[in-house]
Structure 1
Amino acid sequence: MAKELHIVMLPWSAFGHLLPFFQLSVALAKFGVRVSFVSTPKNIERLPNVPSSLASLIALVKLPLPKLPNGDLPDGAEATVDVPFEKVPQLKMAYDLLQRPFQKFVADQSPDWILIDFMAHWVLGFAQESQIPVMYFSIFSSATNVFLGPPEYLTGEGRTSVRPSMESLMSPPPWVNFTSPLALKKHEAIPLFNNFFVSNGTAVSDAERHAKILQNCQAMSVRTCRELEGPYLDLLIELVGKPVIPTGSLPAEKHERAELSGQSPKHIFEWLDEQKPKSVVFVGFGSECKLSKEQIQEIAYGLELSDVPFLWALRRPEWADDEAEVLPVGFGSRTRGRGLVNMGWAPQMEILSHESIGGSLFHTGWGSVNENLGFGHSLVALPMIIEQGLNARLLVDRGLAVEVDRAEDGSFSRDDIAKALRMAMVSEEGEPLRLRARQIAAVFGDIKFQQEHYIGQLVEFMKSYNKSK
């Protein structure tokens, strides 16, 4: 009888990373792979439930987050969502202190593979000593990984005067050998350069972590589909110089509404049930994007001007003392019947899968991109942080999104929002986009194909690698 494959997962402590690692764990377990998913206690508790049929194959391993010597991290903070942006470097320092307990866990388990995120470069040394292969699982697109570049450009080896610099991020990289829209706008390039390429308080910059892992891992996997990113995937394989295996879109399984009744706001689905098929745009910016008052107000006025039915999942921002401060005065009464704003938690996957939803106005985070493409929604891109601008350009280039126009400083107006919404949802000019969205959904929404083709390939690679070793 063949030995069961055992994999240890170590994601970075941000929910845009934890959830894809969890979804990959579930997908692998369906192939009989045993997974130890390692994170901190609070992060583990906030994950979705492991499907009962896979409970024997997925172990959720809690390693307490070590305290910093100077105590410079809020009590109970274990993920980026728990800390203000300026405290993320301290969270990275605490995360780096997981090295010793994680090493002990790996030594006790002796797994067949370790799958790590871009943060944990310190795994590579003891994995090599123990002869355990390491795979870098990137939750970012192939296009983003290509944009960041080969390892020598990230570490300073062979660095040219062209890159990396803040200005260089505002045009496609010189190593992209085909026509590409991959470039950041100035308001996007400044924070990415300062937070990725420059050491931001920790001993090792994110760029150096990423480069060390690319140089020393045995293989890389990327959450993507060849049908969307074929040229970028091929170029990434060339730049990295080692196997790069796409995992597919990792579609999450949708819960039936009956399963949600105890926790879900019923009024959301009651309202959606009354709307016409494919008529409603879902508006959601997740938990990591902190929108300013001006941004929220312009989005609200844009929704109002567009005349498009909308459902907005909106968390009360930290700057608002109560919910009445968040939206423009009279907004609710002026849009009553046509729009619904839900303050607080909302089951995004179940909303996106509802037949009344036809589009999304969102930040183009890669996880949300994959979810939306699976349902064939028209996409209105309003990128906010990190690499989201690159995702927006990729989607527009592939005929799958309209990007909201912005000023040089990154600001946008209600008219920009309304124009993009009408284009994506109702105008005749936007019909090719809606058609393309339906076509790509045949790939991204096919759970059986995603599982058997992409995850099957990944499992086969890991098994055959171990045999050859």
Structure 2
Amino acid sequence: MADGMHVVMLPWLAFGHMIPFLQLSIALAKAGIRISFLTTQKNIQRLPKIPQHLTALINLVELPLPKVDGLPEGAEATVDILHGSDEYLKKAYDLCYPAFKKFITEESPDWIVHDIFPCWVGNVASEFNIPRVFFSIYSATVNAFFGPDADGLKKMWPSPESLASPPEWFEFESSVAFPTHETAGLYCGFFSPDASGFSGLDRLVLALQGCSAMAIRSCNEFQGEYLGLLKKLRKRPVIPVGLLPPTPPEKRETTDPKWANTLKWLNEQPDRSVVFVCFGSECKLSRNQVFEIALGLQLSNLPFLWALRTPIWATNDMDTLPPGFESQIGSRGVVYMGWAPQLEILSHPSIGGSLFHSGWASIIETVHYGHALIVLPLANVHSLDARMLVDKGLAIKVEVNDDGSFHRDAVARSLRLAMVEEEGERFRLKSIEMKAIFSDQTLHENYMNEFINFLKSSKT
């Protein structure tokens, strides 16, 4: 047991944030630490189930989300809203401040572990003299790119164009920077206040100010150069908690006939022959993007399994794909509409590669199983991690045009290079090599133990 320690977890309202926070909660609970995980009622219902033996230690606490103009009825996570309208979700989230303060008043936890977006957490923590840790779900590469403790960042990034080059504080060879077509939107989002009254920079500054340490989902064996730089830049303890690798999915009875048919198809494919295609819950593909990916898969002549949610622009599932696509593909590929069990798919022996958006959590899960990586970053900070993977010889990036659009031929070329062509063998071998690091449970447990020791020794 960890001396009855009580830690409050406060993630942002996005599943790409809540899931790593839940994984961290589970790791801490295994050490006997009591966890209060704060999010909204609807999100609590949608989170993965907590392991039965840890339910007494992890308390999912409802944080009421106030209504604000501009936020759709029932929207409680970024997955519920259109791309670009998360400013209203942030505005509603900021209004959770009184409920959070009331909870802290009543519970007096030992630590608060929080995300980048709750910029009000520092006020509560300092008022009640509770130490806090800023836990970044982003990679060390992304964190290091954005540089020092942020107060002078606007001078360091004088224009949108400046984001298109690696920053001057990188002490090593790196191509990590944003593509030109993304810089204007990113610059505005990072430096200009939105409907919530805060910019991305404001939230980063407030997340870092006064925190006892920064915890990060990373490890020296993969991102040592970026972690080392980050420790110099942040001027406070930067503690890697390991990669929080996925636990193998449990064997379960298949009751859904649609999934049963998909699993039957997967079982019939040769080992390491199938491309898994998935762009996550936050990546909202346009009609043109869906069509180009579909036609690229068709041109590649490779077996594939595509987990695809019905986009908001489609009237139904049939309207989502190019006309005649499924009849032309036949039994060579499966488009699985709706939520799919990603870990169950990635762990299947027939999967050999993955075409995805280069989100950090998906990188970890894909390399954990030693699959070939084909990356097509479309939003957020995914371009930075995609370039880091290319620098490390670990991924093939789909070629895009100057405006960010891409063509089916580029998709097909990248898929074939990664999966079957002799020239792509080095990428396949590199992923298998990295699998030894990403799937080393003992290595990542040691990182977690160091973080737990920090919490114990630094408790005030």
Give the number of equivalent residue pairs.
460
Q: Is residue 1 of structure 2 the alignment partner of residue 8 of structure 1?
A: no
Q: Is residue 220 of structure 2 the alignment partner of residue 222 of structure 1?
A: no
2:26 equivalent in structure 1: 26
For residues 124 and 134 of structure 2, the distance between their equivalents in structure 1, rounded to whole angstroms, comes to: 15
Q: SS of the counterpart of 1:265?
A: helix
Gaps of 5+ in 1: none
| Partner amino acid, structure 2, of 1:122 | W
Alpha-carbon deviation of 1:324?
Answer: 2.0
1:112 equivalent in structure 2: 110
Gaps of 5+ in 2: none
Task: Output aligned runs, 1:60-79, within 5 Å.
Answer: 60-68=60-68, 71-79=69-77
Please tell me whether the aligned partners of residues 192 and 198 of structure 2 are also in contact (alpha carbons under 8 angstroms): no
For residues 367 and 119 of structure 2, the distance between their equivalents in structure 1, rounded to whole angstroms, comes to: 32
For residues 459 and 57 of structure 1, the distance between their equivalents in structure 2, rounded to whole angstroms, comes to: 16
Alpha-carbon deviation of 1:165?
Answer: 2.1
Structure 1 residues 73 and 36: alpha-carbon distance in aligned structure 2, compared to 1, 3 A threshold: same
Q: SS of the counterpart of 1:180?
A: coil
Alpha-carbon deviation of 1:31?
Answer: 1.3
| Partner amino acid, structure 1, of 2:126 | Q
Task: Output aligned runs, 1:19-98, within 5 Å.
Answer: 19-68=19-68, 71-98=69-96
How far does the alpha carbon of each residue in 1:290-331 deviate from its partner, in whole angstroms, 9 at most, with x for none? 111111111111111111111001111111112222212222
| Partner amino acid, structure 2, of 1:6 | H
1:196 equivalent in structure 2: 190
For residues 123 and 93 of structure 2, the distance between their equivalents in structure 1, rounded to whole angstroms, comes to: 17
Q: SS of the counterpart of 2:7?
A: strand
How far does the alpha carbon of each residue in 1:132-156 deviate from its partner, in whole angstroms, 9 at most, with x for none? 11100001011101111212xx44x
Alpha-carbon deviation of 1:158?
Answer: 7.3
How far does the alpha carbon of each residue in 1:181-239 deviate from its partner, in whole angstroms, 9 at most, with x for none? 11111122222112222212221111111022223211001111221110000101110
Q: Is residue 455 of structure 2 the alignment partner of residue 455 of structure 1?
A: no
The range that moved more, 6-15 or 209-218, is 209-218
Task: Output aligned runs, 1:373-452, within 5 Å.
Answer: 373-450=367-444, 452=445
For residues 253 and 359 of structure 2, the distance between their equivalents in structure 1, rounded to whole angstroms, comes to: 27
| Partner amino acid, structure 2, of 1:85 | H
Counterpart of 2:458 (choices 452, 465, 468) is: 465
Task: Output aligned runs, 1:148-167, within 5 Å.
Answer: 148-151=146-149, 154-155=150-151, 157=152, 159-160=154-155, 162-167=156-161
Normalised by the size of structure 2, how large is the TM-score? 0.97
For residues 338 and 277 of structure 1, the distance between their equivalents in structure 2, rounded to whole angstroms, comes to: 15
Normalised by the size of structure 1, how large is the TM-score? 0.95
Please tell me whether the aligned partners of residues 138 and 220 of structure 1 are also in contact (alpha carbons under 8 angstroms): yes
Structure 1 residues 380 and 328: alpha-carbon distance in aligned structure 2, compared to 1, 3 A threshold: same
**Identity percentage over the alignment?**
50
Please tell me whether the aligned partners of residues 10 and 113 of structure 2 are also in contact (alpha carbons under 8 angstroms): yes
| Partner amino acid, structure 2, of 1:89 | E
For residues 367 and 153 of structure 2, the distance between their equivalents in structure 1, rounded to whole angstroms, comes to: 38
Please tell me whether the aligned partners of residues 264 and 347 of structure 1 are also in contact (alpha carbons under 8 angstroms): no
Please tell me whether the aligned partners of residues 42 and 76 of structure 2 are also in contact (alpha carbons under 8 angstroms): yes
Counterpart of 1:281 (choices 257, 275, 280) is: 275
Counterpart of 1:267 (choices 243, 249, 261) is: 261
For residues 116 and 314 of structure 1, the distance between their equivalents in structure 2, rounded to whole angstroms, comes to: 31
1:364 equivalent in structure 2: 358
Q: SS of the counterpart of 1:337?
A: helix
The range that moved more, 234-243 or 127-136, is 127-136
1:298 equivalent in structure 2: 292
Counterpart of 1:147 (choices 140, 145, 148) is: 145
| Partner amino acid, structure 2, of 1:349 | L
| Partner amino acid, structure 2, of 1:386 | N
Q: Is residue 239 of structure 2 the alignment partner of residue 245 of structure 1?
A: yes
Structure 1 residues 200 and 159: alpha-carbon distance in aligned structure 2, compared to 1, 3 A threshold: closer
Q: Is residue 344 of structure 2 the alignment partner of residue 346 of structure 1?
A: no
Alpha-carbon deviation of 1:260?
Answer: 5.0
Alpha-carbon deviation of 1:262?
Answer: 5.5
How far does the alpha carbon of each residue in 1:244-279 deviate from its partner, in whole angstroms, 9 at most, with x for none? 111212123233232554697111211110011111
Q: SS of the counterpart of 2:330?
A: coil
Counterpart of 2:175 (choices 181, 197, 201) is: 181
Q: Is residue 204 of structure 2 the alignment partner of residue 210 of structure 1?
A: yes
For residues 211 and 399 of structure 2, the distance between their equivalents in structure 1, rounded to whole angstroms, comes to: 40
The range that moved more, 234-243 or 199-208, is 199-208
Structure 1 residues 263 and 235: alpha-carbon distance in aligned structure 2, compared to 1, 3 A threshold: farther
Please tell me whether the aligned partners of residues 370 and 432 of structure 2 are also in contact (alpha carbons under 8 angstroms): yes
Please tell me whether the aligned partners of residues 264 and 346 of structure 1 are also in contact (alpha carbons under 8 angstroms): no
Please tell me whether the aligned partners of residues 83 and 284 of structure 2 are also in contact (alpha carbons under 8 angstroms): no
Please tell me whether the aligned partners of residues 194 and 200 of structure 1 are also in contact (alpha carbons under 8 angstroms): no
